Amino acid sequence: MAGYDYDLFVIGGGSGGVRAARISAGHGARVAVAEEYRYGGTCVIRGCIPKKLLVYASHFQDDFEDAAAFGWSVGESRFDWSRLIAAKDKEIDRLNGVYERLLTGPGCTLYHDRAVLEDRHTIRVGDARVTAAKILIATGGRPTLPDLPGIEHAITSNEAFHLEALPERVVVVGGGYIAVEFAGIFHGLGAKVTELYRGEQILRGFDDDIRHGLHDEMLKRGIDLRLGCNVVSIARGPDGLRLTLTDDTALETDCVMYATGRRPNTRGLGLEAAGVALDESGAVIVDDYSRTTAENIFAIGDVTDRIQLTPVALMEGHCFADSEFGGRPRKPDHRDVASAVFSQPPIATVGLTESEARAEYGDVDIYKSSFRPLKHTLTGRDELSRMKLIVEPRSGRVIGAHMLGADGPEIIQAVAVAIKCGATKAQFDQTVGIHPTAAEEFVTMRTKWQAPQAEAAE
């Protein structure tokens, strides 16, 4: 594309931007990428990867306890937060280098500075000014904090990865997946954890059976989970932080972490000057092919506020590159996207929840299973796994699968393939299970769930 410094300029070096850049370069485009922090984005630097490493660490307390039930004698154990964080940081540094090599390998030019649009084709990067035929916005999102007295004493998930020491007492505010994951992490590592959520139940938007099930399991583990409760103010005192709550009680803690929402990173990018429209939340408005209201400018990932998942950003970036530089127009498919919550126990899901399915199809067939995992028949832990299939009765197609329990994310990943292919309940039933596994429950549930009959009025 003659007349421009680059065919494509990508603003944001996270998963989606890197995928779009390297695939576009592979198609022969001249590509540059600007990232003002570190290449890898939220997922690699301060999201999915470091969080999963902390989740692994938090499981060992249970593992040490359970070992005795299987004949092992485990000696005295001690957890060192600083060693964990140092190991985590080393791995993140390695991945940061991997992401940069993913870009330089196919010939992308890297800028380690902030990029701002001056018009539809001109980008100011630090002290430099460059032009591009097409521009891709892939700047992701950031955690938000509410406006209340003393909020400067609170942290978000960003800071949680860099705490100098593990707090003895932690309050997590929020009821989404980040909140329940960090509640499990802090608790598993030995902190006394309270989670506050203003709503009626955690994990709004997930299937009701699964979210209620996780609520029960968190209480069993000893997490103080308070629903319908929020923070009014935060104050620092001689013994830590003092939270005043909406139920007129107070709570003492050493750390308060907010996980109450994220906002697209669009501020100060010059999008308005380039004619890029934003919605009321600040997210970039795009069409089915990720094109913004400016014809040559596109956006993918969390900055568009479609589905905030790393694999979705990767899909959108790949579709963009193939469409614009590969001669193969295709739009991302956002239906039946599988996801997981690395709570304890974890949740995994694909397709519609029961309420969504009833709203879309009317009557649906429901299959449920709840059981104690085989492992805990020896450990004696009072933990239940829960599985659920939702079936459209006219076609017999499975339109939703949900699981709460160990290995759920690994299991649902395979189930997602079947649902994406339109598999029917009959085909699930014809599949021979692997015994003894939890996964076999998805192919052995035969009895439709019937709602309990309401008792007749006296």
User: Annotated active-site positions, please?
Assistant: 435
The Cα 380–Cα 400 span in angstroms is 31
3-state helix, strand, coil in the chain (%, to 5): 35, 25, 40
Instruction: Select from 4, 279, 314, 1 the least CA-distant residue to 138.
Output: 314
C-alpha–C-alpha distance, residues 105 and 93, integer Å: 18
What are the φ/ψ torsions at residue 143 (nearest 5 degrees)? -70, 150
Amino acid at 115: A
CB 53 within 8 A of CB 29: no
Beta partners for 131? 122
Residues in CB range of 399: below 8 A, 6 or more apart = 351, 352, 357, 361, 364, 390, 391, 392, 419
What b/e readout covers 405-421, taking b as 16+ CB neighbours within 10 angstroms? bbbbbebbeebbebbee
Helix spans in 176-309 (H): 177-188, 208-221
Nearby residues of 354 by Cβ (< 8 Å), 6 or more positions away: 207, 208, 209, 364, 366, 388, 390, 400
- CA 376/CA 428 separation, integer angstroms: 27
Helix H or strand E encompassing 110? strand 109-111
Pull the structure tokens for residue 365: 């067939």
Least Cα distance to 210 among 346, 351, 336 occurs for 346
| Helices H / strands E in the chain, number of each | 12, 21
Q: Which helix (H) or strand (E) holds 43?
A: helix 41-46
State how far the Cα of 351 lies from the Cα of 337, in Å rounded to an integer.
7
Q: What phi-psi label fits residue 116: left (phi over 0), alpha (psi between -120 and 50 degrees) or beta?
A: beta
Whole-number Cα distances in Å, 412 to 19, 234, 271, 402, 452:
25, 40, 39, 8, 28
